[in-house]
Structure 1
Amino acid sequence: MNSRPELFPDMLAYAVEHKVPIMDPDALQVMKHYMHLTGSRYILEIGTAIGYSAMHMLSVSDDVKVVTIEKNEDSYRTARDFFKNHGVAARVESILGDAKEVGTGSLSDTPFDMLFIDASKGNNEYFFETFSPLVKDGGLIIVDNILLRGLVVEEEIQSRNRRRMKEKVDMFNKRIAASGMLSSFLPVGDGLLIISKKEEGTNA
């Protein structure tokens, strides 16, 4: 159990009050640990929400910069306010739009050190296929909520939409597990998938 003090209590309080899903603290610490280990400094985030995860990534180092995409205008504006209030707005490029429509052409030509996917879970495959080419060789790809709050292990799901989402997430998880990529499924938080953009057996 993570016992570290909360770095952004104002954001945590906002998330609790407004029922905004945020990343589990244990999963956050694992992600930040991987950022430290790999020296990841230029991050692409799919799914800003209120900017809580981005703020934690920015806290790893003053050299960290984040490009983050959010389709909900209210969340986008709330996140920008938090970035400004915490004095990190200059290190964040916030993009308002659906990541499925934004595409890669409007993003930086500089390869990203890490891709963090934390948006609509049924689109993990699409986000991975679209944005992982922007990550440098040897870089990280991290996907949150791969357990869907336990939904992935449920056998009887009445809701057709929930069943379809489970199928999509399960299919993506199995595809990564069967690929030649170095990957780890970590049972922290709601499940964290860590992928190294390097195939097993390659030298780098």
Structure 2
Amino acid sequence: MYIFCGDVMNENQYIEKLNIRDEIFPELYQYAKENRVPIIDSDALNIVKNFIKLKSVKSILEVGTAIGYSGLHMLSVSDDIQLTTIELNEASYKIANENFNTYKVQDRVTHIHGDAKEVSVNGKFDMIFIDASKGNNLLFLEKYKPLLNPGGFIIVDNILLRGLIVQETIDNKNKRKLKEKVDRFNHYVKENFDHTMYFNVGDGLLVITV
């Protein structure tokens, strides 16, 4: 028999705590929290990094750099990884560049400043990580899927929209439209790809193997 003291937790919270690892970029994590920069949840990040390790990923395309937090974590899995990452916001783009330089990975990063819906990206990738404007998930998927190497995979973050995805009544028009777009995307992937996995970790992860 196992006896747990302290706060009572459910099964999801129990697994979440087991999935969370020590933060290797505490300054970036703290900056993101203090400045309300959206970053991937710690338990979901652990899943992403394990997929990178298991699949021996060497090249990653990231849609949505923000301040470089997730990019740095993905690069930390192996010194052999090369990252191409796209960011629209100029301030975030500059901060991410500073962070890549601070942690001395700039030689492994191709950083593109522009709209991911419009920019041209060269190369082929073992993995694509989509973590930008959620209403454009389908556009990003269709635009960048042809850049995957054989056996490659795509990970999409925030497919649960912090619980919004299962709310029946949403008064805010913009939130309601966003929920509808992401819900359509989630079901589109289920209906059009044979190998998909939906994970209830963080804010929801979708893994597509093509």
Under a length normalisation based on structure 2, what TM-score does the superposition of the two structures give? 0.90
Gaps of 5+ in 2: 1-16
Counterpart of 2:184, as a letter, is M
Within 5 Å, which residues of 2 pair with 1:77-92? 77-92=94-109
Of 26, 32, 37, the residue aligned with 2:49 is 32
Q: How many angstroms apart in 1 are the aligned matches of 2:138 and 2:181? A: 8
Which residue of structure 2 lines up, in the alignment, with residue 166 of structure 1? 179
Check the 8 A contact 2:195/2:209 in 1, yes or no: yes
Counterpart of 2:121, as a letter, is L
Q: How many angstroms apart in 2 are the aligned matches of 1:49 and 1:4? A: 21
Check the 8 A contact 2:87/2:114 in 1, yes or no: yes
Deviation digits for residues 22-63 of structure 1, max 9, x if unmatched? 100110010111111111110000000000000000000000
Superposed structure 1 runs of 4+ greater than 6 Å apart: none
Which residue of structure 1 lines up, in the alignment, with residue 202 of structure 2? 189
Q: Residues 132 and 156 (structure 1 numbering): CA distance in 2 closer, same or farther, change over 3 Å?
A: same
Which residue of structure 1 lines up, in the alignment, with residue 14 of structure 2? none
Counterpart of 2:136, as a letter, is N
Structure 2 residue 131 is matched with structure 1 residue 114: no
Which residue of structure 1 lines up, in the alignment, with residue 79 of structure 2? 62
Q: How many angstroms apart in 2 are the aligned matches of 1:144 and 1:72? A: 19
Q: How many angstroms apart in 2 are the aligned matches of 1:61 and 1:27? A: 18
Q: How many angstroms apart in 2 are the aligned matches of 1:160 and 1:175? A: 22
Under a length normalisation based on structure 1, what TM-score does the superposition of the two structures give? 0.92
SS for the counterpart of 1:188 is coil
Counterpart of 2:160, as a letter, is L
Counterpart of 1:174, as a letter, is H
Q: Residues 164 and 68 (structure 1 numbering): CA distance in 2 closer, same or farther, change over 3 Å?
A: same
SS for the counterpart of 1:100 is coil
Aligned length: 193
Which residue of structure 1 lines up, in the alignment, with residue 90 of structure 2? 73
Q: CA RMSD in A?
A: 0.9
Query: C-alpha displacement at 1:3, in angstroms?
Result: 4.2
Q: How many angstroms apart in 2 are the aligned matches of 1:10 and 1:144? A: 22
Structure 2 residue 150 is matched with structure 1 residue 137: yes
Which residue of structure 1 lines up, in the alignment, with residue 12 of structure 2? none
Which residue of structure 2 lines up, in the alignment, with residue 23 of structure 1? 40
Which of the two has higher C-alpha Rg? Answer: 2
Q: How many angstroms apart in 2 are the aligned matches of 1:143 and 1:181? A: 16
Query: C-alpha displacement at 1:159, in angstroms?
Result: 1.1
Q: Percent of counterpart pairs with the same letter?
A: 53
Counterpart of 1:74, as a letter, is A
Check the 8 A contact 2:88/2:114 in 1, yes or no: yes
Gaps of 5+ in 1: 198-204
Q: How many angstroms apart in 2 are the aligned matches of 1:10 and 1:134? A: 33
Of 174, 178, 190, the residue aligned with 1:177 is 190
Deviation digits for residues 138-188 of structure 1, max 9, x if unmatched? 101000000000010001111111111111100010011112330000000
Counterpart of 2:59, as a letter, is Y
